[in-house]
Chains A and B, each alone.
Chain A
Amino acid sequence: MTLFGYRLPMMSSLVVWCLIWEIVGRLELVLLFPPFSGVLAALVELVQSPKFLAATWTTITTFCIGMALAIACGVALGVLMGRVRAAENLLGMWVNVFASAPLSALVPVLMILFGMGEKTIIVSVFLFAVWIIALDTQAGVKHITPSLIEMARSFGARRFDIYAKIILWAALPEILAGIRLGFIRGVKGVVIGQLLVSIIGYGELFELYSRTFLMEEFWALTIVLFAFALLVAHLVGLLEKRVEYYAGVRQ
């Protein structure tokens, strides 16, 4: 962006928006928008509070457990569907349905099944992430050059070796692409799960702040969550750059 012939740094438009927010807040037009400076002050206080730290810990552990399960099951399911025609016919449709369904609608059902605790959050992270991982893995497995598998067989490979030394590696770029998308969906899963359960993690804090009209804290928490989502997306993006390089030289 340039202004009066000067090149402005990348984030400068953000400064403009923050200024507008500050002005709107000062005018006290809408109750929903406290001045931005107040939000910043609340943010500093928030990240030091034990409540916030506990909520962060809950969020991170549930997210990691859910993602680990989603990656393990998603890759296994994808490999199964990519290798076994019957499994593809039987499961393919459902995996596709779940990959594109609005899963938030299922979270209340999960609360009935798994209670109002961390289990529900873990399951919702899992359900948000697993299907896309399975689909991408399946696509990768289906595109393996058949001669690689024939080669391994011709040198006497056992079935386990064919999976561990050929199939998983050959499909790795697609598997990692699926995991990247899974991470982004998993972030949605952990946030939506917590908001709906609303008695643990950030969900509890959101519930508290919005019920008591603590708008400064409310927005501070929102900013933290957005930053968390952006950070995950960015880290996964870094990973993917390396994978793309690898996928490009595959042929």
Chain B
Amino acid sequence: MVAVTKLRAADRHGEHMASLESIISVRGINKVYPGQVHALKDVDLDFPAGALTTLLGPSGCGKTTLLKIIAGLLEPNTGDVLVKGRKVTAPGPERAFVFQDFALLPWATVLRNVGFGLELRGMAETKRNEIARRYIDQVGLSGFEDKYPHELSGGMRQRVGLARALAVDADVLLLDEPFSAVDEQNRRKFQEDLLRLREIERKTFIFVTHSIEEAVYLSDRIVLLSRRPGRVSQVITPQIDRSGSPEEIRRDRAYLDTVEEIWQGLRQFVD
């Protein structure tokens, strides 16, 4: 029953990812929006468990569409999404979404927002609050439990969105440009926190971004999508030593080379 794609690992998790299972696979995805907008064409992809894979591509190439299809929020016209080898057509507890515009309930406190995924699953209040507090602490928002979203900065709001997704303990986190509405300083801080969080949480991340630097800084794998109709044009596996400080990583030879390589790959899509 478990259709597993073996992938060769080539990243910092080298040892324990020597033979990787793909936790999510998409097969032959086509998506045509009403009005003959062909957003995705024949997309086949595997997402290795425990890795952070970035979807990168020109604006309007279908990144959000692909992510929402994986989340089960959108239906493809053809093709399947497999989670741990099983076909899915709707959202499920093994996947959690982080929204570009945060999608927080404005009438609810940080505590309730973070616990909202658990609330929808019918968990009792004391239990879900306890879990929510733990993740609020983990994303660095302790002391803000009783604040409302409008009292927080953009960066803090997205931390709430991230904590909410972490709290349901899904295997896969789907993040759609989570930092695009966050200012540059907070963005960098957030990126570093995300790297740190990955070490603790051992989850699979699928990440959409516009920024080549961000993709290279964070990712184990980078999938380049072509201009609409979006299809996979290249998969890059950056070999970056992330043991150093953020500044060291950003000056690293491999980091700079990979940024350049991706830029060359994307250049053809820029008019």
- Chain A positions near chain B (C-beta within 8 angstroms): 145, 147-148, 150-158, 161, 165-166, 169, 172, 246, 249-251
Contacts and interface: CB of A to CB of B under 8 A. Distances in A.
A249 B168 CA distance: 27
B140 interface: no
A251 B119 CA distance: 23
Given A147-B101, A148-B103, 5 more contacts: A153-B91, A154-B72, A156-B121, A165-B120, A169-B105
Q: Is the interface of B mostly helix, strand, loop or mixed?
A: loop
B148 interface: yes
B135 interface: no
B103 A147 contact: yes
B99 A155 contact: no
A145 B103 contact: yes
B92 interface: yes
Determine which residue in B92, B100, B120, B148 has the highest number of CB atoms from chain A within 10 A of its CB, and name it: B120
Given A150-B73, A249-B150, A156 B103 contact: no
Contact of A156 (B68, B93, B100, B106): B93
A249 B157 CA distance: 14
Contacts of A250: 106, 150
6 contacts: A154-B91, A154-B95, A156-B92, A156-B93, A158-B120, A250-B106
A152 B106 contact: no
The 3 closest A-B pairs by CB, nearest first: A151-B103, A155-B117, A249-B150
Interface of B: 68, 71-73, 91-93, 95-97, 99-101, 103, 105-107, 116-117, 119-121, 148, 150, 168
Given A154-B91, A156-B91, A249-B148, A148 B105 contact: yes
Contacts of B121: 155-156
A150 B73 CA distance: 7
A145 B101 CA distance: 10
Contacts of A152: 120
A163 to B, nearest CB: 13
B53 to A, nearest CB: 19
A150 B103 contact: yes
Nearest to A147: B103
B91 A251 contact: no
B101 A155 contact: no
Nearest to A169: B107
A61 to B, nearest CB: 33
A189 B142 CA distance: 53
A153 B73 contact: yes
B106 A249 contact: yes
B97 A154 contact: yes
Nearest to B150: A249
B116 A155 contact: yes
B91 A155 contact: yes
Contacts of A153: 73, 91
Contacts of A158: 120
A58 to B, nearest CB: 38
Interface centre among A153, A158, A246 (most CB of B within 10 A): A153
Given A147-B99, A249-B148, A156 B120 contact: yes
A159 B232 CA distance: 35
Given A151-B97, A151-B99, A156-B121, A251 B106 contact: yes
A150 B117 CA distance: 12
Given A150-B99, A249-B148, A161 B120 contact: yes
A251 B116 CA distance: 19
